[in-house]
């Protein structure tokens, strides 16, 4: 089986999110190449640049080019800066393709990030701009051993604590390896001295007892949890819990959820902007927002030997306008760009049309109280399920807050995203409530309101992120990123860090670096 076959199989069975994680593991998505602030040395001599799209890629280009002395203008379709880097709060209204309009009813202080919601520590470019632009960060709780793994086909559909499943899996594997080591079944693989060290490490890693077994006892319960934990006074003695046997662990299929938090993009430390991801966009807006014209829908892009022209419509007044510049950095998503007339080379045109975008749906649910904290002691983290909602993410802010709380009730991709969004928004929320109730029965009594963001139905992108595979990357990636006449593309789709803001930032820096070299070279 090739990597491409495997990724296709994962995508069909588990959706786009799981497939992207697999792409990262298989080297199809790479770490950030950011090495430090860009230096655009040399005088651009009044050169003008038109930037299309005010997401993080477009705003990175606008900020750095303006600092270097370029005349910069940015056209943005939306009435805000940020693109997918957005936050939905009470009072926010948006309309999707098809005309369905939703108005968020969350209580003050509650929000969801329907697009980017995490900033891994190694996304050095985004971390740099957060620091420079005064975007305050706080910890995003990716891994919570007290959250759940849920499989409708195991344990009668009853969710299991992540920590218990992982501890039992590790414990049984450690016991098997210990047996193999003691019986010298590893042969020439390790020396006797290394075997003794391995045994001791397996005891520690797998919480094995003195006889190198993973069984009920203090060692295993200290990992997977107790029936009754240690306390004080006459009732202080703890009661150990019963581990699942190896057969049960393997047949449950829940071990599949364990590896997701090991990938580099999901390891601690992970951050989020205080108050929502929109604060990344607000940081760029403070620094370069004066360069942006909002509510500007680009309808045609033309280039010749002297420069670039973009026709656009003011979406509020209907007025038809034109912008001109010497060069163009185009950060419009490929799903939209492929619909805009543009005279570029056949190679770039083919590349633009070669990259499909993942569908994706996120659902924010507001409840009367934070029952996941009060009833189940879950503070942040993510529950995984084989139900169509795929993930439940608990807020990493406002712990122990009184009053309503919001969690991410669904983050799902793949074909089911299309099926779910055939329903009106209110019915989509009801579906998500039905699924979530199988994990948290409190849903039924505590639910207040919700909001659904379907990225493939958002007019300014019509998809979640570009989906490269080995073949179309080999055929089209370089053509997509090359400067074509006086136009160069930027965005997460023009990176090896697809699906992340870091991809947009690093692609923009690479694009303007090459553009600047041409300008100063005359």
Instruction: Tell me whether residue 259 is in a domain.
Output: no
Separation CA 340–CA 456 (nearest Å): 18
Confirm if 114 and 409 have CB atoms less than 8 A apart: no
pLDDT class for 10, splitting at 50, 70, 90? Answer: very low
Instruction: Tell me whether residue 331 is in a domain.
Output: yes
Q: If DSSP codes are grouped into helix, strand and coil, which group holds residue 504?
A: helix
pLDDT tens sequence across 87-109: 999 999 999 999 999 999 999 99
Mark whether 13 and 75 lie in a shared domain: yes
Angle (CA) 457-53-67 rounded to 5° is: 155
Domain tally, the chain: 3
Separation CA 513–CA 258 (nearest Å): 40
Run of H or E residues at 339: none
Mark whether 195 and 338 lie in a shared domain: no
The encoded tokens of residue 82 equal 């940020």
The pLDDT assigned to 228 comes to 85
- Which residue is listed with tokens 């499909």? 356
The pLDDT assigned to 28 comes to 45
Domain containing 94 — which CATH number?
3.90.660.10
Shortest CA distance to 276 belongs to which of 137, 451, 162, 476?
Answer: 137
Instruction: Give the structural domain span for 211.
Output: 160-252
Farthest CA pair distance, the chain: 87
- Which residue is listed with tokens 């002395």? 69
Instruction: Tell me whether residue 503 is in a domain.
Output: yes
Domain containing 173 — which CATH number?
1.20.1440.240
The encoded tokens of residue 249 equal 């662990």
Res 192 pLDDT > 60 = yes
Pairing status of strand 48-52 against strand 93-95:
unpaired
Separation CA 89–CA 101 (nearest Å): 15
Burial class (CB in 10 A: 0-12, 13-18, 19+), 33: middle
Separation CA 126–CA 129 (nearest Å): 5
* Domain end residue (candidates: 457, 475, 504): 457
* Domain end residue (candidates: 457, 483, 506): 457
Cross-strand partners of 119 = 271
**Measured CA distances, 131 to 54, 96, 102, 178 (Å):** 20, 33, 34, 47
Shortest CA distance to 327 belongs to which of 31, 22, 61, 113?
Answer: 61
Mark whether 478 and 350 lie in a shared domain: yes
pLDDT tens sequence across 466-486: 999 889 999 999 999 999 999
Shortest CA distance to 428 belongs to which of 412, 445, 446, 440?
Answer: 412
**CB contact set of 56 (below 8 Å; sequence gap of 6+):** 82, 83, 85, 126, 280, 281, 284, 501, 504, 505, 508
Confirm if 220 and 167 have CB atoms less than 8 A apart: yes
Confirm if 226 and 241 have CB atoms less than 8 A apart: yes
Separation CA 270–CA 120 (nearest Å): 5
Mark whether 415 and 368 lie in a shared domain: yes
pLDDT tens sequence across 260-306: 666 565 667 799 999 999 999 999 999 999 999 999 999 999 999 99
Instruction: Tell me whether residue 260 is in a domain.
Output: no
* 3 state SS for 82-150: ECCCCCEECCCEEECCCCCEEECCCCCCCEECCCCCCEECCCHHHHHHHHHCCCCEEECCCCCCCCEEE
Instruction: Tell me whether residue 151 is in a domain.
Output: no
Instruction: Tell me whether residue 35 is in a domain.
Output: yes
Mark whether 497 and 437 lie in a shared domain: no
pLDDT class for 185, splitting at 50, 70, 90? Answer: low
Pairing status of strand 71-75 against strand 292-293:
parallel
Pairing status of strand 160-161 against strand 93-95:
unpaired
pLDDT class for 236, splitting at 50, 70, 90? Answer: confident
> Which is more confident, 24 or 496?
496
Instruction: Tell me whether residue 296 is in a domain.
Output: yes
Confirm if 97 and 86 have CB atoms less than 8 A apart: no
Q: Starting at the edge strand that comes first in sequence, how are the strands of the sheet with 71-75 ordered?
A: 292-293, 71-75, 48-52, 327-330, 487-489
pLDDT tens sequence across 15-57: 444 544 444 444 444 567 888 889 999 999 999 999 999 999 9
Say what the pTM is.
0.85
Mark whether 350 and 376 lie in a shared domain: no
Mark whether 338 and 483 lie in a shared domain: yes
Mark whether 55 and 191 lie in a shared domain: no
Shortest CA distance to 460 belongs to which of 117, 14, 94?
Answer: 94
Mark whether 38 and 58 lie in a shared domain: yes
Most confident segment among 23-37, 193-207, 357-371: 357-371
Separation CA 272–CA 396 (nearest Å): 9
Instruction: Tell me whether residue 155 is in a domain.
Output: no
Percentage of the residues of the chain whose pLDDT score is greater than 70: 91
* Domain end residue (candidates: 406, 426, 457): 457
Domain containing 507 — which CATH number?
3.50.50.60
Separation CA 165–CA 174 (nearest Å): 14
Mark whether 380 and 439 lie in a shared domain: yes
Catalogue the long-range contacts made by 312-319 (C-beta closer than 8 Å, 24 or more residues apart). 312/75, 315/77
Mark whether 443 and 362 lie in a shared domain: yes
Burial class (CB in 10 A: 0-12, 13-18, 19+), 188: exposed
Confirm if 51 and 483 have CB atoms less than 8 A apart: no
The pLDDT assigned to 261 comes to 63
Mark whether 165 and 306 lie in a shared domain: no
Q: Is the peptide bond before 269 cis (omega within 30 degrees of 0)?
A: yes
């Amino acid at each position: 089986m090739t990597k491409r076959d495997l990724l296709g199989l994962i995508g069909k069975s588990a959706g786009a999110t799981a497939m992207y994680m697999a792409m990262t593991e298989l080297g199809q998505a790479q770490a950030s190449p950011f090495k430090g602030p860009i230096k655009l040395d040399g005088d651009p001599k009044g050169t003008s640049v038109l930037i299309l799209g005010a997401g993080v890629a477009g705003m990175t280009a606008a900020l750095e080019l303006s600092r270097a002395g370029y005349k910069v203008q940015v056209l943005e379709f939306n009435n805000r800066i940020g693109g997918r880097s957005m936050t939905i709060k009470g009072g926010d209204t948006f309309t999707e393709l098809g005309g369905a309009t939703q108005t968020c009813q969350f209580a003050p202080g509650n929000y969801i990030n329907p697009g980017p919601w995490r900033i891994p520590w190694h996304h050095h470019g985004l971390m740099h701009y957060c620091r420079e632009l005064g975007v305050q960060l706080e910890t995003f709780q990716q891994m919570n051993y007290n959250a759940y793994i849920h499989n409708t086909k195991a344990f009668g559909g009853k969710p299991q604590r992540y920590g218990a499943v992982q501890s039992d899996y590790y414990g049984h594997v450690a016991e098997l390896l210990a047996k193999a080591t003691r019986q010298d079944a590893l042969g020439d693989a390790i020396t006797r001295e290394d075997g003794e060290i391995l045994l001791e490490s397996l005891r520690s890693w797998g919480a094995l007892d003195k006889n190198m077994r993973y069984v009920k006892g203090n060692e295993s319960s200290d990992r997977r949890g107790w029936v009754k934990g240690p306390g004080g006074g006459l009732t202080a003695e703890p009661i150990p819990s019963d581990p699942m046997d190896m057969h049960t662990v393997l047949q449950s299929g829940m071990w599949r959820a364990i590896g997701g938090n090991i990938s580099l993009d999901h390891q601690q430390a992970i951050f989020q902007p205080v108050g929502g991801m929109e604060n990344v966009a607000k940081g760029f807006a403070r620094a370069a927002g004066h360069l942006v014209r909002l509510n500007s829908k680009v309808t045609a892009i033309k280039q010749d030997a002297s420069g670039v022209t973009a026709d656009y419509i003011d979406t509020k007044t209907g007025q038809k306008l034109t912008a001109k510049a010497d060069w163009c950095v185009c950060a419009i998503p490929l799903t939209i760009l492929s619909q805009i007339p543009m005279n570029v080379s056949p190679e770039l045109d083919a590349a633009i049309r070669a990259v499909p975008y993942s569908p994706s749906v996120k659902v924010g649910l507001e409840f009367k109280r934070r029952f996941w904290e009060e009833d189940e002691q879950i503070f942040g983290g993510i529950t995984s399920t084989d139900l169509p909602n795929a993930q439940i993410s608990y807020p990493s802010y406002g712990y122990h807050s009184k009053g309503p709380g919001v969690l991410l009730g669904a983050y799902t991709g793949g074909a089911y995203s299309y099926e779910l969004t055939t329903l009106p928004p209110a019915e989509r929320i009801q579906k998500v409530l039905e699924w979530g109730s199988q994990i948290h029965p409190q849903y039924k009594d505590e639910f207040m309101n919700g909001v659904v963001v379907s990225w493939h139905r958002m007019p300014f992108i019509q998809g979640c992120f570009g989906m490269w595979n080995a073949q179309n990357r080999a055929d089209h990636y370089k053509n997509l990123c090359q400067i074509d006449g006086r136009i160069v593309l930027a965005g997460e789709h023009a990176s090896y860090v697809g699906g992340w803001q870091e991809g947009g930032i690093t692609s923009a820096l690479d694009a303007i670096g090459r553009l600047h070299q041409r300008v100063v070279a005359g």
